[in-house]
Amino acid sequence: MKRLKKYLFLSVVVSGFLVAGACSDNTTSDPEPETDKDGAENQEVITLRAATGLSTQHAWWSDTMVPWMERVEELTEGQVEFETFPGGELVSVPDEGDAVLNGTIDVGLVLPIYQPSEYPMAEVTMLPLAHSDTHIGSNAWKALLESDVELADGKTYREMQFADFKVFPISTTQEYSISTTGKEFNSASDIHGTALRTPSRIHEVYSDKIGVNSITMPAVEMYDALSRGAFDGSYYSIADWSGYGFQDLFKYTITGVNFGHFNAFIGMSNEKWEGLPEHVQEAMTQANEEIFTPGAEEWITRAEAAIEQNIEDGGEFVEFTTLDQGVQDVINQGIEETWVNYAQLLESQGLPGIDLITLWRDIVIEQGGDVPEGLKEME
């Protein structure tokens, strides 16, 4: 009996130590993850797939998307991480928007102008202008996306075109020019029959007005086609040449006339956006504001470098006002008609074309740009 009592006593003592040890382990273990006001765990790592069909050298990727992702990671102290797929590794141009909405990727560079059947009013930024530059075009695009003006059925521009997306506006390209692999416009007859790649329906309409044959294809397919001599040149932004290597192909460029700005945005699905913690949403919004202007500046820097290099390689840049008057007249004649034609095209699809181009005109002027005189009287 005494021996049994002794064993019982030892068992109680050992059990006590075990319990004490267990309690000690609990008090020194990692604390429970803190939560923010949304109840989301601050320590939970959020990995997002980000993709583009554009090359890693393209300014929208290297100097807008990448800095945005890096800044988001900094602001969230590493809680958000990005798994990146540039250069068409996962998604090709122009399928980034569809990939965002179907969940293939979480965030992407969306190029809506390439999909006019889905985003017919996205091309408005490509309308030719009397005056603009990279900052004016970029700020006007941002203002259009953020406008609270109701265009139809109580909906704003963004709500009519991109209601399924969380949209982060990014800079537009520099204004578009006409560049060729060598063909010069010394007389009006030189324009007629020239084959130019057109980046939007607006340029197709404009080309038809001035007698240019239009070739439609994404920019990523242009280099090989130009190298083969499949067409003479393109409406294109000088600043964007380096993204595709066009500085090695274009030999003749007309400057001083504006053929619009190509637009894009960083996009997420509303579902993905709404599922993020509030502090992550705030970080993404802040990062977007911070990279917007530097992104526009990059286009200007690239344009200056491209022009310098192209001149060294034998390229020629011709100021529009120095061209033969007949050439100037042909190039100018279709601008106002193109605005009206684009509006009518949208109206025929049941969209507010007149209201859209009027809104765009007003925004461009508010941001410091200008439009042809005949458009200023449009109501």
29 occurs within a structural domain: no
* Poorest-pLDDT segment among 54-68, 212-226, 338-352: 212-226
Indicate whether 73 and 152 sit together in one domain: yes
Is residue 39 over pLDDT 50?
A: no
Residue-wise pLDDT tens digits, 249-292: 999 999 988 999 999 999 999 999 999 999 999 999 999 999 99
Question: Would you say residue 1 lies in a domain?
Answer: no
In a domain, 23, yes or no: no
Final residue in a domain of this structure, among 241, 275, 300: 300
Q: Are residues 203 and 318 in the same domain?
A: yes
Q: Based on the domain organization, do 142 and 89 belong to the same domain?
A: yes
Q: Write down the pLDDT at residue 40.
A: 43
Strand partners, 269: 165
Nearest alpha-carbon partner for 359 in 196, 156, 74, 187: 156
Output the CA torsion sign for 242, 182, 325, 195: negative
Residue 355 lies in a domain: yes
- pLDDT > 90? residue 84: yes
Q: What is the pLDDT of residue 242?
A: 82
As beta bridge partners, residue 40 has none
The domain total for the chain is: 2
Model-level pTM?
0.83
Clarify whether residues 89 and 180 are in a common domain: no
Examine residue 203 and state whether it is found in any structural domain, yes or no: yes
Q: Which of 8-12, 134-138, 222-226 is predicted with the least confidence, judged by mean pLDDT?
A: 8-12
Same domain, 191 and 294: no
Q: Are residues 167 and 229 in the same domain?
A: no
Is residue 6 in a domain?
A: no
Residues 57 and 114 in one domain: yes
Q: Examine the domain organization and report whether 205 and 292 are in the same domain.
A: no
Whether the pLDDT of residue 1 is over 70: the answer is: no
Q: Where are the alpha helices (DSSP H) in 147-200?
A: 157-161, 188-191
Question: Do 189 and 89 sit in the same domain of this protein?
Answer: no
pLDDT for residue 3? 36
Whether the per-residue pLDDT at 368 is higher than 50: the answer is yes
Task: Tell me if 95 is assigned to some domain.
Answer: yes
The average pLDDT across 355-367 equals 98
Residue that is written with structure tokens 């100018």 in the block: 332
Question: What is the rounded distance in angstroms from the CA atom of residue 379 to the CA atom of residue 371?
Answer: 14
pLDDT recorded at residue 42: 52
Q: Tell me, what CATH number does 204's domain have?
A: 3.40.190.170
Is it true that the peptide bond before 31 is cis, omega within 30 degrees of 0? no
Are residues 131 and 139 in contact, defined by beta-carbon separation less than 8 angstroms?
Answer: no
Q: What is the pLDDT of residues 192-221, one digit of tens each?
A: 999 999 988 999 999 999 999 999 888 888
- Determine, yes or no, domain membership for 10: no
244 in the same domain as 314: yes
Task: Look at strands 80-85 and 252-255 and give their pairing.
Answer: unpaired
156 and 295 inside one domain: yes
What is the rounded CA–CA span in Å between residue 97 and residue 189? 41
Domain encompassing residue 247: 176-261+303-371
pLDDT score recorded for residue 129: 93
Residue 130, pLDDT score: 87
**Domain identity same for 139 and 85:** yes
Tens-digit pLDDT profile for residues 287-328: 999 999 999 999 999 999 999 999 999 999 999 999 999 999
